[in-house]
Structure 1
């Protein structure tokens, strides 16, 4: 309770007689209504600083109880349903008469009202407002208010028993009145009034009466009226000329009546009208030129009628219309041609609860010219909703800020449905789809200004970043009553402005896949989760989502991730090195193992002892001419008895080539590699020298001979490290080139050296032979 106001109502107080009671000077408002006060019995100066005093509903409080009480500073005194007599009270009190509210003081007949007016006149020459509500006034005559001082403000006769107003002739000379209120009475009709009397009257209200008809020129005696309230009556007949003469009228309330027809001259004189409310009548057709003269109309409310048709020029003349309400009618289509008159001014269009329905996606947008429209309501179309939402339905609505599509049973939301709505801030889609909503990625891609999104009860199964990730300004998200069992925290974190999240009645599972979501909801101080601590696990209703056990989700997870990551990195690092260094050795080992597994290895070793061939010749195809013309005649002919193994002659047909090479190497006492530049570039030659060198180094047998057909520089041999290793340890021969002094003698020496090397027995003690290097130039 503030220090300026004290509420002591409904406390069964009977008096304020305690001599110790004192009120602070700062107290300005005192409410003592609904007690059992029969006397105040207080110090006369107790209320001297009070400005608002309510003594209503103290039925035993009499006039005498207020005698001598200082009320000079009271600006508003209420005495409804007390026993205080208005005239007697004014006669004994020092309160200003204009500050007394005469509501509910039993002033129910002319005699009492005239006495009151006489007293008011005696007290002062004019009065601003008179409140005579709840007095049971049944009738008022021409002399009732004639003796009252001039009323320059409002006269309120609401909640009485008036059944006629007689063109307000009972006000007599009260032509200065600005507002007259006769709501909640029993008035049944408004007759024609052609005498102009009340030029200062600005506002007139006959709401909550029983008016059935309004005759022509019913308001001609108040031509300057600006606000006329005839709503919540039973008006079935509104004369074509009922509103004639009201050229200053700005607000007209005719809602909640029984009107069926409007004509092209109904609003003929009301060209300054700004607000026209015709909601909840029985209008079915808007005829041509009905609103032709309403060029300044800003708000037109036709909601809750039975409109099925609007004639082609039915909306012509509405050049300034900004808010147009057509909700709750029987419209079956949206005719874009009707909106041409106000296409540059309309900001609000309400079409909810009609019968609008589409059967195909290729529909031209009816809103393409409504460039200023900011609020569009299409929710709850009867009987089955929109069913189909056309792809380009909202084309042109670049200024739209609020869109309502609730309760429409749409089969499918096209990904491009909202592409033009770049200014949209509020979108509601709750209960708009049939069954499970398959929201396509990018359906909200252009809604970067959206601040509130309602997608309740859409059957959404997956809350993904692809769908919701572009909503960077979203502040409020209502996801309740959907069917997803988990929500991606990445998707939520892509909404940086999110402050309010409603996930009620979503069957979130209390499992490890929601452990991050639990942490997000509990520990994120920037997002309010609606009823977080009431959300239950789906399997165990006794368990709450915010504290279900997530320890099992993190057991040794870091360690496992470290070792698995380290192993992957190691493999990716070492594998290329192994491939480069050990490729042929691994391949060789594979074939050796396979031979061993098939008992072939044993047979190879037995053949080795018998040595089927003296030498296996490894050469490149480009060097075959030298092998056939030089090597073969000199080793197998000319008195030599060597048996050589050659690819084309001795390899077994139909057998794997690697198996043939392995057999040739181990079936020969020596392997002669005819080295040339082409030999170094050959993959199969490389395999052959690799196999022979493995046998050389692993078994310590002198089985490899290198014959260089041409000079090869050290740089060219640098990448063939195994061959260089062999050259450093074993015998190699150089075929004498044409630049030799005596080629024939040099070649003869070459062949003798080669024959001697072939005949040399393999020895495990190859330390001596490793020192024997020979080169014939």
Structure 2
């Protein structure tokens, strides 16, 4: 029960992981853009867990390749979410363990490749659900044995490859495959089998191909009928296998038997075996001299009159006489003498009785020249169609070298050291269709060289030392379709160098020293040429005003101009591609172009593939409209171009584009509208681009994750350039979705309001704000609390607040009448009682709260004084805060209502409190009025919080003291915070 629960949980986890990924991108795999989501390659990944590689693949996967990873263990249910898989490759990995249910749910799997791993053991139930498996590859592992019943469920298996393991028990293998009635191919090469002995089982009758090469067989040891149904049997490189091992073994159905590098005596073997002699491969059997070959031929002749193929390669044959193969049956197909030690073929005189031979192979020998074979040569192999002398040491090919083989169609002389090719070397080869002279040392070609080869269709002269193509060289090759002159040293062509090439469609001139493209050269190709390769030449332009060299090549479909040496093309002329209306593929990589003109691709209306990798210098600023006419382009590769602008104006017209490779460029952002303008886009590679993980890429992030039509290659591995802790697909974009318009509106409105109101507040409320600053500074320093605690033991009866201009009245009138004349009041005056060195504000605050009363001597100068204003505000603050009558106002002169309007708090105090007016000198009895004034002031200083003045003297309109009955003293919070 616990095991079942574990399985269900595993399946749930895998399926849950699949649902997390909604975008068309995969962390460790790439979907082939042409497969419609069915073919995936997971190659060269550093993941160690199979689940990490596969968790985001869709259920539509049919082909899957997992190679060159770090996976060592394939866990149970690894592929359970991929039920449609038919072809699975897990090769070239360090896999050493595969769990029993690793391939569960793969009911449709047809091909499984587990080669090149470290598998040493297989679970007997590993393939139990692979009922449709037809191809199984287990080669290059460390298997020592096969568990019983390992292939019991794979009844449709057609091919089983277990080469290059450590298998030793053939009986075990035979028993494991005996029930596979559809098995046709069994490959056991490169193991450690010592015999084919087996228990009472038979190989399936369907098995026709058995490879047991490179083992340690010293005998067959099988029943005589064990190999009855085998058609192809490879026992090569079993050096201890003797001839007697085949005694009585039924080989009648063998169509190909290979015994190379065994200890088998071929003549003895043919005498004791019932194999068809025409089906034996005689290569590598030590038949190195005439006597052995003649003995073999006589034996073959007794058994058959003709033989299709005779393979005598790798026998160490040094020479052949006219009689070596004289007694052999007629060869009607191929004679293979490759990999021997032949130094001469003597115009094939040893084949004088093999008139029906069609192919002769003398590759990998020691031939140094091909001599003249003139009319006196008695051999004439008119049936010979293919002749190969590749991989020899041929230095020269003399005249009429192939006069004895006039009808050959394919001649291979490549990969030699031919420095001399006689002008008449190819004389008489009027049926020659394909000629390979590549990879030699040829320096010159003449107009007579190919004069008889008018049926030649393919001529390969690649990698020689040809420097000039002379007039008339190819004049007779009117049927030539492919001419390969790549890898030579051609600097120019004479005016008629290409004359005669009426059918040429493929011309390869790459790797030469051409410095310009001569328009006259291609005038003969206007109706035929489809492929032109000019890679790695020395073509270079210095101005943009060069005419098009391709005007006549209206049918050209493939043009390669990559990597011009040593500086690249540098400049790409405006009209360079003019006339190429049929061009479908264009290669311009590695050319150091400084600028791509906006109209350079205008004529390429049929272009489907364009590669510009590393084509430009430095940072490339693509001009809008540069791709405007490429409406049929399906694949664009612009890697490592230094592109810094990806916009709709540049790429917006590529309406058929399906694959776009942008990796290794320098743009920091990609406009989503440019990607959205590519309706057919299915594959996007943006690796190694310094995309910034900022708000300008927030839309791109969203697009890459949720666009299900475009595969973004390895999206979930793309790093943030500015923060290595984040990946591009999950960097934070919350702040990017604030309504910036609304935010900016309110921000701007606030700023404008502040700029408008601040000057008004400064003019109207400057002192109120300054006062508030001082109040709060004192409040935060806990000054108020300390002063309130000291109030009961006040040092002064009154703090006198006055302006210095009223100093005389204070010293002459106020001070003597309150501190002298029998009065016992103690006054606080700033010039006398303030503490030296202390902050002025702290002194004022201390004076107000150290005195029972504050007397403000109000005059016009007082109202204009900053410090006086501060003092009265502090006193009024105390009045409203403590609900005590601590403030007395003394007006030295009449002050109108208008003048007091700016002092809102003072007016508020005057409405609630008594205030005193200093008698005017014009009064009828000023002395009496002054005496009454001082009495009222002394009485007010002695009174509590409520005061009612009983005297109110009016004398000739002169008010000595005015009073209003005070209302009960009440303040609200509104009044308390009402600043002056």
Select 2:394's aligned residue among 193, 211, 219.
211
Matched, 1:167 2:350: no
Select 1:151's aligned residue among 331, 350, 356.
331
Matched, 1:101 2:281: yes
Query: 2:587 corresponds to which residue?
Result: 404
Query: 1:538 corresponds to which residue?
Result: 721
CA contact (8 A) 2:533 2:559 kept: yes
Deviation digits for residues 10-42 of structure 1, max 9, x if unmatched?
220111212234211222221111111111111
3-state SS in 1 of match to 2:292: helix
Select 1:12's aligned residue among 186, 192, 196.
192
Deviation digits for residues 220-257 of structure 1, max 9, x if unmatched?
00000111000110000000100000000111101110
Matched, 1:249 2:429: no
- What is the CA–CA distance in structure 1 between the aligned matches of 2:288 and 2:667, rounded to whole Å? 67
- What is the CA–CA distance in structure 2 between the aligned matches of 1:305 and 1:242, rounded to whole Å? 21
- What is the CA–CA distance in structure 2 between the aligned matches of 1:102 and 1:517, rounded to whole Å? 66
Instruction: Pick closer, same or farther for the CA change 1:145–1:364 going to 2, 3 Å.
Output: same
- What is the CA–CA distance in structure 1 between the aligned matches of 2:288 and 2:724, rounded to whole Å? 65
Query: 1:581 corresponds to which residue?
Result: none
3-state SS in 1 of match to 2:342: coil
- Normalized against structure 2, the TM-score is what? 0.56
- What is the CA–CA distance in structure 2 between the aligned matches of 1:122 and 1:525, rounded to whole Å? 72
CA contact (8 A) 2:525 2:552 kept: no
Query: 1:49 corresponds to which residue?
Result: 229
Deviation digits for residues 390-441 of structure 1, max 9, x if unmatched?
1011111000001111111111101100000000011111111111111111
3-state SS in 1 of match to 2:684: strand
Report the CA distance between 1:78 and its aligned residue.
1.2
Instruction: Pick closer, same or farther for the CA change 1:520–1:7 going to 2, 3 Å.
Output: farther
Query: 2:367 corresponds to which residue?
Result: 187
- What is the CA–CA distance in structure 2 between the aligned matches of 1:8 and 1:525, rounded to whole Å? 46
Select 1:367's aligned residue among 550, 570, 576.
550
Instruction: Pick closer, same or farther for the CA change 1:563–1:362 going to 2, 3 Å.
Output: closer
Query: 2:480 corresponds to which residue?
Result: 297
Alignment of 1:493-508 (within 5 A): 493-508=676-691
- What is the CA–CA distance in structure 2 between the aligned matches of 1:159 and 1:91, rounded to whole Å? 27
Report the CA distance between 1:112 and its aligned residue.
1.2
- What is the CA–CA distance in structure 2 between the aligned matches of 1:145 and 1:461, rounded to whole Å? 72
Of structures 1 and 2, the one with the larger relative CO (CA 8 A, separation 6+) is 2
Query: 1:768 corresponds to which residue?
Result: none
Query: 2:904 corresponds to which residue?
Result: none
Select 2:357's aligned residue among 164, 177, 190.
177
Query: 2:793 corresponds to which residue?
Result: none
CA contact (8 A) 2:343 2:365 kept: yes
Q: RMSD of aligned C-alpha atoms? A: 1.9
3-state SS in 2 of match to 1:339: helix
- What is the CA–CA distance in structure 2 between the aligned matches of 1:566 and 1:408, rounded to whole Å? 51
3-state SS in 2 of match to 1:336: coil
CA contact (8 A) 1:462 1:484 kept: yes
Instruction: Pick closer, same or farther for the CA change 1:523–1:62 going to 2, 3 Å.
Output: farther
Matched, 1:133 2:316: no
Report the CA distance between 1:473 and its aligned residue.
1.0
Matched, 1:30 2:210: yes
3-state SS in 2 of match to 1:453: strand
Query: 2:175 corresponds to which residue?
Result: none
Instruction: Pick closer, same or farther for the CA change 1:93–1:307 going to 2, 3 Å.
Output: same
Report the CA distance between 1:169 and its aligned residue.
0.7
Matched, 1:378 2:561: yes
Instruction: Pick closer, same or farther for the CA change 1:96–1:453 going to 2, 3 Å.
Output: same
Query: 1:355 corresponds to which residue?
Result: 538
Report the CA distance between 1:528 and its aligned residue.
2.4
- What is the CA–CA distance in structure 1 between the aligned matches of 2:489 and 2:245, rounded to whole Å? 59
Deviation digits for residues 106-131 of structure 1, max 9, x if unmatched?
11111111111111111111000111
Report the CA distance between 1:522 and its aligned residue.
2.9
CA contact (8 A) 2:227 2:249 kept: yes
Q: Unaligned regions of 5+ residues in structure 1, if any?
A: 568-593, 598-777
Report the CA distance between 1:493 and its aligned residue.
1.7
CA contact (8 A) 1:428 1:455 kept: yes
Report the CA distance between 1:301 and its aligned residue.
0.8
3-state SS in 1 of match to 2:520: helix
Matched, 1:430 2:610: no
Instruction: Pick closer, same or farther for the CA change 1:512–1:28 going to 2, 3 Å.
Output: farther
Instruction: Pick closer, same or farther for the CA change 1:143–1:542 going to 2, 3 Å.
Output: farther
CA contact (8 A) 1:453 1:478 kept: yes
Select 1:318's aligned residue among 474, 496, 501.
501
Q: Unaligned regions of 5+ residues in structure 2, if any?
A: 1-135, 137-158, 160-182, 747-759, 764-980
CA contact (8 A) 1:107 1:137 kept: yes
Matched, 1:447 2:627: no
Select 1:118's aligned residue among 298, 309, 315.
298
Deviation digits for residues 734-758 of structure 1, max 9, x if unmatched?
xxxxxxxxxxxxxxxxxxxxxxxxx
CA contact (8 A) 1:356 1:386 kept: yes
Query: 2:666 corresponds to which residue?
Result: 483
Query: 2:267 corresponds to which residue?
Result: 87
3-state SS in 2 of match to 1:252: strand
- Normalized against structure 1, the TM-score is what? 0.71
Instruction: Pick closer, same or farther for the CA change 1:525–1:111 going to 2, 3 Å.
Output: farther
